[in-house]
Chains A and B, each alone.
Chain A
Amino acid sequence: MTAPTPALRLRGVTARLGGRDILRGVDLEVPAGTRLGIVGVNGAGKSTLLRVLAGVLHPVEGEVGVADAEGTLVDTHDLRSRDRARRLAFVPQEEVVAAELLVGEMVALGRVPQTRPWARGGQDERELVVAALDAVGLADRIDSPCDQLSGGERRRAVLARGLVQQCPVMLLDEPTNHLDVAWQLRLLELFADRAETLVATIHDLDLALRFFDRIAVIGWPDDRDPAGDPATVVAVGRPADVLDPARVGAHFGVGSIQVSNPRTHQTHLLIHPREDQP
Chain B
Amino acid sequence: MSHGKRQRPDRVRRRLPFWPLILVLLVLCLVSVVASLGFGSERIPLGEVVSAVTDRFTGEDPGRWDVIVWELRLPRALLAVVVGAGLAVAGAGMQTLVRNPLADPYLLGISSGASVGATAAITTGVLGGLGTYAVSGGALLGAIGSAILVWLVATAQGGLTPLRLVLSGVVLSSGLSAIASFLVFLSDDTRAANSVMFWMLGSVGGATWEKLWIPALLVLVIGAGMLALHRWLDALAAGPETAAALGVNVAALRSSLFVGTAVLVGVLVAVSGGIGFVGLIVPHAARLVVGARHRVVLPVAALGGGLFLLWVDVLARLAVRPQEIPLGVVTGVVGAPLFLLLMGRGRYRFGGER
* A92 with B242, Cβ < 8 A, contacts A100-B291, A105-B293, A117-B229 known: yes
Q: Which residues of chain A are near B293, meaning CB under 8 Å?
A: 101, 105
How far is B227's CA from A98's CA once the two chains are assembled, in angstroms? 19
How far is B232's CA from A109's CA once the two chains are assembled, in angstroms? 9
**Would you give the shortest CB distance from A101 to chain B, in whole angstroms?**
5
Check if A137 is an interface residue, CB within 8 A of chain B: yes
Among the stretches B40-48, B85-93, B130-138, B233-241, the one at the interface with A is: B233-241
Check if A44 is an interface residue, CB within 8 A of chain B: no
Within 8 A of A (CB), among B211-241: 227-232, 234-235, 237-239, 241
Among the stretches B69-77, B116-124, B244-252, B303-311, the one at the interface with A is: B244-252
Q: Which of B238, B247, B249, B354 contacts A97 (CB 8 A)?
A: B238
Could you mark each residue 10-26 of chain B with 1 if its beta carbon is under 8 Å from any beta carbon of chain A, else 0? 11110000000000000
Q: Which residues of chain B are near A92, meaning CB under 8 Å?
A: 239, 241-242, 245
Q: Which of B1, B3, B349 contacts A147 (CB 8 A)?
A: B349
Among the stretches A59-67, A138-146, A209-217, A256-264, the one at the interface with B is: A138-146
How far is B347's CA from A144's CA once the two chains are assembled, in angstroms? 13
Check if A120 is an interface residue, CB within 8 A of chain B: yes
Within 8 A of B (CB), among A149-195: 165, 180, 182-183, 186
Cβ contact within 8 Å between A118 and B245: no
Cβ contact within 8 Å between B234 and A109: yes
Cβ contact within 8 Å between B238 and A109: yes
Cβ contact within 8 Å between B246 and A98: no
**Would you give the shortest CB distance from A114 to chain B, in whole angstroms?**
9
Q: Which of A86, A91, A143 contacts B247 (CB 8 A)?
A: A86
Q: Closest chain B residue to A147 by CB distance?
A: B349
Cβ contact within 8 Å between B348 and A91: no
Check if A148 is an interface residue, CB within 8 A of chain B: yes
Check if B254 is an interface residue, CB within 8 A of chain A: no
* A89 with B245, Cβ < 8 A, contacts A100-B292, A100-B349, A120-B295 known: yes
Within 8 A of B (CB), among A187-227: none
Q: Closest chain B residue to A100 by CB distance?
A: B292
* A117 with B231, Cβ < 8 A, contacts A100-B349, A137-B3 known: yes
Q: Which residues of chain A are near B234, meaning CB under 8 Å?
A: 101, 105, 109, 112
**Would you give the shortest CB distance from A96 to chain B, in whole angstroms?**
6
Q: Which residues of chain A are near B3, meaning CB under 8 Å?
A: 137, 180, 182-183
**Would you give the shortest CB distance from B75 to chain A, in whole angstroms?**
32
Q: Closest chain A residue to B10 by CB distance?
A: A144
**Would you give the shortest CB distance from B30 to chain A, in whole angstroms?**
26
Tally chain B residues at the interface, Cβ within 8 Å: 37
Check if B188 is an interface residue, CB within 8 A of chain A: no
Check if B353 is an interface residue, CB within 8 A of chain A: yes
Q: Closest chain A residue to B247 by CB distance?
A: A85
How far is B10's CA from A73's CA once the two chains are assembled, in angstroms? 47
How far is B123's CA from A218's CA once the two chains are assembled, in angstroms? 65
Q: Which of B228, B235, B245, B351 contacts A99 (CB 8 A)?
A: B351
Q: Which residues of chain A are near B291, meaning CB under 8 Å?
A: 100-102, 105
Could you mark each residue 245-281 of chain B with 1 if its beta carbon is under 8 Å from any beta carbon of chain A, else 0? 1111100000000000000000000000000000000
Q: Which residues of chain A are near B232, meaning CB under 8 Å?
A: 112, 117
How far is B4's CA from A60's CA once the two chains are assembled, in angstroms? 47
Cβ contact within 8 Å between B229 and A109: no
Q: Which residues of chain B are near A11, meaning CB under 8 Å?
A: none
How far is B12's CA from A205's CA once the two chains are assembled, in angstroms? 40
Cβ contact within 8 Å between B348 and A113: no
How far is B244's CA from A101's CA once the two chains are assembled, in angstroms? 19
Q: Which of A89, A99, A115, A141 contacts B10 (CB 8 A)?
A: A141
Cβ contact within 8 Å between A81 and B12: no
Check if A274 is an interface residue, CB within 8 A of chain B: no
* A117 with B12, Cβ < 8 A, contacts A98-B237, A100-B291 known: no
Q: Which residues of chain A are near B227, meaning CB under 8 Å?
A: 118
Check if B352 is an interface residue, CB within 8 A of chain A: yes
How far is B291's CA from A99's CA once the two chains are assembled, in angstroms? 10
Check if A54 is an interface residue, CB within 8 A of chain B: yes
Q: Which residues of chain B are near A90, meaning CB under 8 Å?
A: 245
Q: Which residues of chain A are near B245, meaning CB under 8 Å?
A: 54, 56, 85, 89-92
Check if B317 is an interface residue, CB within 8 A of chain A: no
Could you mark each residue 227-265 of chain A with 1 if its beta carbon is under 8 Å from any beta carbon of chain B, else 0? 000000000000000000000000000000000000000
Cβ contact within 8 Å between A117 and B353: no
**Would you give the shortest CB distance from A119 to chain B, in whole angstroms?**
7
How far is B15's CA from A102's CA once the two chains are assembled, in angstroms? 11
Could you mark each residue 60-76 of chain B with 1 if its beta carbon is under 8 Å from any beta carbon of chain A, else 0? 00000000000000000
Given contacts A97-B238, A115-B231, 14 further A-B contacts (CB under 8 A): A82-B247, A83-B247, A85-B245, A85-B247, A92-B241, A95-B242, A100-B348, A102-B291, A109-B231, A109-B235, A110-B246, A117-B232, A118-B227, A186-B1
Q: What is B's interface to A at a CB cutoff of 8 Å?
A: 1, 3, 10-13, 227-232, 234-235, 237-239, 241-242, 244-249, 287, 291-293, 295, 348-354
Q: Could you name 13 residue pairs across A and B whose Cβ atoms are closer than 8 Å?
A: A81-B244, A83-B247, A86-B247, A90-B245, A98-B351, A99-B350, A101-B238, A110-B246, A112-B234, A113-B247, A143-B12, A145-B10, A186-B1
Q: 6 closest pairs, A vs B, by CB?
A: A85-B247, A100-B292, A99-B349, A113-B247, A90-B245, A82-B247
